[in-house]
Amino acid sequence: MSPLTVQGPIPPTAANATWPNVLHTRVADVIAQMKPPPWSRRIIADERQLVTLIASPPGGGNRPHWHSDFDEWWVVLAGTLQWELTGGTTVRANKDDIVWVPRGTVHHIKNVGTDLSLRLAVAMPPAMHYFHPCAQCGFDDDGPRQWTA
Ligand SMILES: [Zn+2]
C-alpha cells in the first residue's frame, strides 16, 4: 500500500501489473480470468476504499449482512439484481444502475435475472461484515466467503 499522503505531482508508479490497482481495467479481461461464476475480484484497494467486481450466476447472490461504519454502493454492470433491505424495501436494478445502502442496513443481493450479473461494489476498509439473515426472506447463507460486498 502507498502512504496516506505523498508529495506530488508524481507519475503513477504505485500502479500494479495485476489487480488490485491497475491503471486501466477492462472488465472483459477480468471476466476472462475468473469464470465460471460465482467469483469476486478486488479491483481497487487503498486506505479509504475497497472496490470489488462481483459476478453471480442466475439465482446466486451474497450472504446477507450489514456494516456499522460505512455506507456501501454498487454499479450494476450486467444482469438484473435485487437488493432486499432491512424494513421491507426492495430495489431491483439493471445494467448501468447505481444502488446505495446506508450503514446499518442488511443487504441481501440476488441475481434475479436469467443471465450472469456483474456489480462493482464500493466499500471502505476494513469492511467488517456483520452477517445477519435477510430481513425479508430469512435467507442466511450463500456465495463466496470473502469480499461478498
Ligand atoms: Zn455489504
Judge contact between 45 and 52, C-beta under 8 A.
Answer: no
Q: What is the pTM of this model?
A: 0.91
75-86 pLDDT, tens digit each: 999 999 999 999
Q: How far is the centre of ligand 1, averaged over its atoms, from the C-alpha of 20 (Å)?
A: 19
Q: How far is the centre of ligand 1, averaged over its atoms, from the C-alpha of 78 (Å)?
A: 19
Q: How far is the centre of ligand 1, averaged over its atoms, from the C-alpha of 29 (Å)?
A: 25
Q: Which residue has the higher pLDDT, 45 or 135?
A: 45
Q: How far is the centre of ligand 1, averaged over its atoms, from the C-alpha of 76 (Å)?
A: 15
Q: How far is the centre of ligand 1, averaged over its atoms, from the C-alpha of 66 (Å)?
A: 6
Q: How far is the centre of ligand 1, averaged over its atoms, from the C-alpha of 35 (Å)?
A: 22
The answer, yes or no, to whether residue 11 has pLDDT greater than 80, is yes
Distance CA(78)–CA(97), nearest Å, equals 10
Q: How far is the centre of ligand 1, averaged over its atoms, from the C-alpha of 103 (Å)?
A: 9
100-121 pLDDT, tens digit each: 999 999 999 999 999 999 999 9
What is the average pLDDT across 126-132? 92
Q: How far is the centre of ligand 1, averaged over its atoms, from the C-alpha of 148 (Å)?
A: 7
Domains in the chain with CATH codes: 27-131 (2.60.120.10)
In angstroms, what CA-CA distances link 135 with 61, 78, 84? 15, 25, 8
